[in-house]
Amino acid sequence: MSTILVTGATDGIGLETARELAQLGHEVVLHSRDAEKALRAADKIHESVPEARLQTACADLADLGQVVQMAQELNARLPRLDVLLHNAGVYMTTRQLSPNGFEMTMAVNYFAPFVLTRWLLSLLKRSGDPRVVTVSSVAHQSGRIAFDNMNSEREFDAYHAYANSKLADTLFANALAERESWLCSNSLHPGVIDTKLLHTGFNMKGDTLQHGARTSIYLATSPKVQGVTGRYFDDCQVAQCSALASDHELDDALWRWTDNALRDWLP
């Protein structure tokens, strides 16, 4: 069975994903902003999966220093990591800056996964079937990458900031697949799911959390996608991502830009 780190595992799709992975017998590392929330999530999972094998890991993803610290702790603690599942995400209705001075949507949704992945590559290398799964969104199709406006300096629009971060996630997943051919890196649209993020950003109801967790679990565990990398999935099927998300020159440029912008937090 695999050891799987799920970010944003204390509620919504993340908690449901972690619960179902534990039910399948995998060891799950529950990421949370704080230890108390992580323990509450573990208690909830144990209610329905008493035999669940769970660990916790804490970091505020908006603070890249905390992301690095959590990664270093995991490197010291875990013998290996089979799956890194980037599930955490935010939808900011106003422009706010992270502790590191970055626009919060991009900081949490894209910069944190970039930094966390880079620090955990050595742990993933110890797995026989290493996978990185990045939860994107169909909203990536509306996204644009403007290297002179990555922090929404010129203007801030909540939906565009979210869409841009999800395009960055899809480009990141594709670039990682190209750069690290020994692992499988894929991104996905979870569906329009009834979560806090959906209510905040779109003021609407959506599908069940179980539906929202399905494709993440499929990409994390299914033997059918062993060796499949650099693809975008929707409803457990390979789907067409946007033309921008498929642009290998853009994913390379974004990777190099991010590598430079975040060099203070990279190994």
Could you list the active site residues? Answer: 162
58, 185, 183: which is closest to 124 by C-alpha? 183
Q: Contact at 8 Å (CB) between 67 and 111?
A: no
154, 152, 172: which is closest to 162 by C-alpha? 152
Distance CA 95, CA 226 (A): 40
Per-residue CA distances from 105 to 97, 111, 119, 125 (Å): 9, 9, 21, 29
Inter-helix orientation angle 158-179/112-124, to 10°: 20
